[in-house]
Each structure stands twice: as C-alpha cells, then as structure tokens.
Structure 1
Amino acid sequence: MLRRRFPSSSAHHRGNPAMNEQFQALPIDHQHAIAAYPLVFMHDASITTEQWLRFVRRRSRGSSPETGLIAIRDRRGVIHALFSYRIDSDLRVRKRLSISDLIVAHLPGSRIDEAVSNVIAEVSAQYGCQNVTIEQPFAARYPRRARCPTAEALRHPKRRVN
C-alpha cells in the first residue's frame, strides 16, 4: 500500500494556501482504519466494525502498490471522504485509475468534492493513468434515488454541486 500522503491540491490550486491546508489525503491501512469507521457507519449502519476492519485488512495485506484505500481528512483529523482505488488497463492497454467505494460526508462550504477530485487527479498522475473511472458509489435500491454529489461533481467539473 502507498505510504505517501497525497496533498489535496492540484497545480491549479497551489497558489491558494486555504485549499492546501483544508484537507489532507491519507492512505488507509489497518493502523488507520478505525479512524475512518465513523464515516463508513454513517454511510451504511449495517457494516460492523469487524466487517470494515476485515475489508481494510484484505485491501492492505500483501496487496499490490497499485491498489489501496485513501481517506481525506481535515486539519482536525476528521475524515470527510474515503475511496478505494486500483490501477488496471483499458482495451488499448492504457493505464486506468478505477475508483470504487466512494463515501463522502457533505458539509456546507467544506469544498470536499474539490478535494476528492484533486486527490484522484494526483493519484492518476502519480501512476501515469490516461483514464479515470468511478464506479457507481451506491447500489440502486429504489428507482428514483438521489445521485452522489461528489460523483456528479467529478463527472461534470464545470457544474458546482452544493
């Protein structure tokens, strides 16, 4: 698993110190897993602590450096988002970053969608990926379910999602 911290800034935001300091990306391994559990529980209360820790162990034990879990936390250490990723390739054998298990806690004015987007762009650049795919973050239980605002913001970066 990657031990590197991914800053939540992209070249386009490097001049904005508030953006650089508001969020920090942290690879999640078994040691940091319990800190992310409140966000997982808020997303789906049926996932027990034991199930979450087992999931993290499977993702981090002997896994390739091209897979992992990343949490995005604020300066106080509160985790606002997390996702899993893997590097694979498309039909043209171009590297692709695949994002799944995306969970985001939206707070007014937090700019978390922007931070998630920036971290994904940086992970993609680190691995030299030409494409990024984001799996549907939630299984559709009902025909008219609201979409994930972060996934929508990543699909349509020009539109602002509050």
Structure 2
Amino acid sequence: MDQHFQAHPIGLKDAKSAYPLVYLHDASISMEEWLRFARRRCRQPSDRTGLIAIRDRRGLIHALFGYRVDIDLRARKKLCLGNLLVARMPGQLIDEAIIASANELASRFACQTISLEQPFSRRTGVPGACPTTYDLLASRISFIPSTRRH
C-alpha cells in the first residue's frame, strides 16, 4: 500500500471518526443510523464482513468501504465491496490505495474474485410496464405531464 495512505479495519469504537465522511457523502444519514450500520457490520467475524477506512498519515479518513465474503456461481469465494465512500482528491493515490486494500483483503481471505456493488434506485411506476419515450423525456427534465391537451 502507498505510504501516503493506509487501510485499517474500523471497529465500533472507531466508527464515530468515520462519520464526517459519511455525512459528506449523504447528509441525511444521522450519526445514530451510521453507528447502527457499523454495529451490524462489526458484529460478525472479520473474515466474513467488516469496514475498512483508508487514512492518510495524519489519521484523516479519505475513503471508507464495507466488505463481505460471499460465494460466486462457481462456488468460489469472492470479496464483495459496497458502500464505497471517497473524498475526491487530485490524482489517483486514493484510488490506488483502495485497490491495494481490496487486493490485500481478497488474498487474506482466499477470494478468487472481487466485485464492487453499485447501488441503484428502484423504479417507480407500474411494475413490468415499459416507459414510453414521452415518459423518459419528461423524467429527464422533471416535467409533470398535464392531463389537459391544447
């Protein structure tokens, strides 16, 4: 790992120090909600799930992610990364530190693959219905269609 950044597991006692980055990412998450999430992650053995913080030399947290060990379709162990929060900085040092940390975790837990989870919002509307072009365009410009036609 790069000497500028070091990856360290976050325990429940350290979770408060990561909250400023969580808040920066999403101000709607309260300290209590964050601590509840961290408590669930830290409750299980570290070889199954956990939280990792990427810190600089001063101890400031620049990135945070959760991990869990899972099984892929071929019954091989895989490392799943999720809830990746990164304080953007110029250059690629922080990205390289995250990748190095993920590779180190995968090696430690004998995982053959690494996956990065990408959250997405549930679609609203009628289940199974295909949106029309009009619906798609209206949603892009935040337009609420009128029922009156001129």
TM-score computed with the length of structure 2 as normaliser: 0.77
Q: CA RMSD in A?
A: 1.7
Of 102, 106, 110, 2:84 maps to 102
Segment drifting more, 124-133 vs 103-112:
103-112
* 1:76-132 alpha-carbon deviations (Å, 9 max, x no partner): 111000100000111211110000001111111361001000000100011111111
1:62-83 Cα distance to aligned partner (Å, 9 max, x none):
x132100000000011100010
The runs of at least 4 aligned residues of structure 1 exceeding 4 Å deviation read: 140-143
> Of residues 27, 34, 37 in structure 2, which corresponds to 1:52?
34
Residue 140 of structure 1 deviates from its aligned partner by 5.1
Correspondence list, 1:5-154, <5 A? 9=1, 19=2, 21-61=3-43, 63-65=44-46, 66-109=48-91, 111-136=93-118, 138-139=119-120
CA deviation string 1:37-71 (max 9, x = no partner): 0000000000000100111111112x132100000
Counterpart of 1:146? none
For residues 121-159 of structure 1, give each alpha carbon's deviation from its aligned partner in whole angstroms, at most 9, with x where no partner exists: 1000111111111001x535987xxxxxxxxxxxxxxxx
- Give 1 or 2 for the bigger CA radius of gyration: 2
* Counterparts of 2:73 and 2:91, CA distance in 1: 40
Unaligned runs of 5+ in 1: 1-8, 10-18, 144-162
2: CA distance, partners of 1:88 / 1:109:
32
TM-score of the superposition, structure 1-length normalised? 0.71
Query: Residue 64 of structure 1 aligns to which amino acid in structure 2?
Result: P
Partner letter of residue 22 of structure 2?
Answer: V
The structure-2 alpha-carbon separation of the partners of 1:57 and 1:98, relative to structure 1 and needing over 3 Å to count, comes to same
Three-state SS of the structure 1 residue aligned to 2:90 is: coil
Aligned-residue sequence identity (percent) comes to 53
